A and B are shown apart, each in its own frame.
Chain A
């Protein structure tokens, strides 16, 4: 397991308490899980992604990540319609481990309520939360 200081926590995204991230790119919000999440799970072997077209609320389960010995649910950081999923994860689920914020993205969402992005934690708040958890 990585130390907190070793974890990647980009500044250009919002974070949830369940270790998902969301990045606004034009009209679409791209979502995934954080470096902490992938580090805790270990090698990802299978990603169950949400169905395109599905409309989900913030906090609703939208998929699962499976490692060899564990399963973790992925929850929507924001509400909206799933407009696309990262099909590369079918062949290469390990992208979630190697590039959790870039090539390992999970889904694209057309947000129903853009203001929800403000409700997410910024980089500093997320780091504080992680430090609090370790104690």
Chain B
């Protein structure tokens, strides 16, 4: 019997911080008091927050124990589709932690911040080269923030043309942030269906594109893992009616050195540095979502822009057509430093990243297609989508299967997305997984499916091994307890 990673072991309980501590304890070294107490208006003062007082050991043990309850990329394979959970290089952390970067105030005069400004200026250029676009803003703090920026660019562009547009085309495979971001600019989504091959047909777009439509939001490759091969024609149709094409670049990990987005008709694209460019996901953030635009849209980019004059870098707010500002300062500089380090470390080898990401996904697709129902039997890009159709007669769902997969030592893939596949299982291994781990993953899934037939209780009540079993999400929503 193969030895899977999921095992048993002693994991320790740990109460909430508010259930610990004793008044007077401290986990901090207070700086020396070398000034007197000054007069203080007592009518303004409060009693301070009711935080517990803890010792340093208590704090360190608390978070050390909590960390052992988590599964991260450093723990094991994390094949979440469209999230690109690739390995997060540790040297990137070292660079971001350099005091010159970590300790820098954003409002320092330009002359005192050349290093940070140069990193941002250079990264803009590198991302423009990688995407085939002309100008970049690193200001958005996440992909959805970038999408909002993109929608604002659309809005500003159409306003500049004196054109009032109220709608935007959104494919049925789109991530939820797409229509949500469009709505922030007052656009109503026009939902279109993908065809039987899992991509958009040019005819479908032609059927809805008109003078009131601002444009289209595509994801390429899309969330089914397919390259939108009609993209050039679709872009022409949209442009012909004065619209713009927005690309959600979440799946860029399949495209590095393969496709230049600027050459296939994309006008605005956002990237996720915490996906494609290896910065850590942090348990939900922070990330960064730069936007890249074609030349004619450059005037609308958020301010400030980073400019260069004779080797000196500086910030400028002098862009009257700019959509404005989305972040207090310039974006997530610490994340930018990490992505910059990654790109320098790989260089043109970024192409190999995409090749291996796509190889890994196709390998898994071939190995699992007899075990799980493959939604579309075609070569995929960096992710593949299965469903629970074959297991339905056994009354086993996608949820049951992936919860049992946890016991085998794997993080579940993305489930129930995209919405167009009922019971979807979206698997994106990324390029940093080796063949042995892919084989173990396939083996584990096959075991789970075998168990589904022989002993379904193992799945219905899974997972068995983690610190907690399945949680009551219904009560949590009916009677929310959000504070201690």
Please list the residues of chain A having a beta carbon within 8 angstroms of any beta carbon in chain B: 43, 45-46, 66, 68-69, 93-94
Instruction: Assess whether B474 is interfacial by the CB under 8 Å rule.
Output: yes
Contacts of B482 in A (CB 8 A): none
In addition to A68-B474, A94-B474, 6 A-B residue pairs with Cβ atoms within 8 Å of each other are: A43-B474, A45-B474, A46-B477, A46-B478, A68-B473, A93-B478
Contacts of B416 in A (CB 8 A): 69
Contacts of A46 in B (CB 8 A): 477-478
Output the nearest chain B residue to A97 by Cβ-Cβ distance. B474
Q: Which B397-440 residues have a C-beta within 8 angstroms of A?
A: 416
Shortest Cβ distance from B417 into chain A, in angstroms? 11
Shortest Cβ distance from A46 into chain B, in angstroms? 7
Contacts of A69 in B (CB 8 A): 416
**CA separation between A94 and B478, bound complex, in Å?**
9
Contacts of B477 in A (CB 8 A): 45-46, 66, 68
Residue pairs across A and B with Cβ atoms less than 8 A apart, 14 shown, are A43-B474, A45-B474, A45-B477, A45-B478, A46-B477, A46-B478, A66-B477, A68-B473, A68-B474, A68-B477, A69-B416, A93-B478, A94-B474, A94-B478
Contacts of A45 in B (CB 8 A): 474, 477-478
**CA separation between A93 and B475, bound complex, in Å?**
11
Q: Which B466-484 residues have a C-beta within 8 angstroms of A?
A: 473-474, 477-478
Output the nearest chain B residue to A66 by Cβ-Cβ distance. B477
**CA separation between A45 and B478, bound complex, in Å?**
5
Shortest Cβ distance from B418 into chain A, in angstroms? 15
Shortest Cβ distance from A45 into chain B, in angstroms? 4
**CA separation between A4 and B416, bound complex, in Å?**
23
Contacts of B474 in A (CB 8 A): 43, 45, 68, 94
**CA separation between A12 and B473, bound complex, in Å?**
35
Shortest Cβ distance from B272 into chain A, in angstroms? 24
Shortest Cβ distance from B481 into chain A, in angstroms? 14
Shortest Cβ distance from B419 into chain A, in angstroms? 11
**CA separation between A46 and B473, bound complex, in Å?**
13
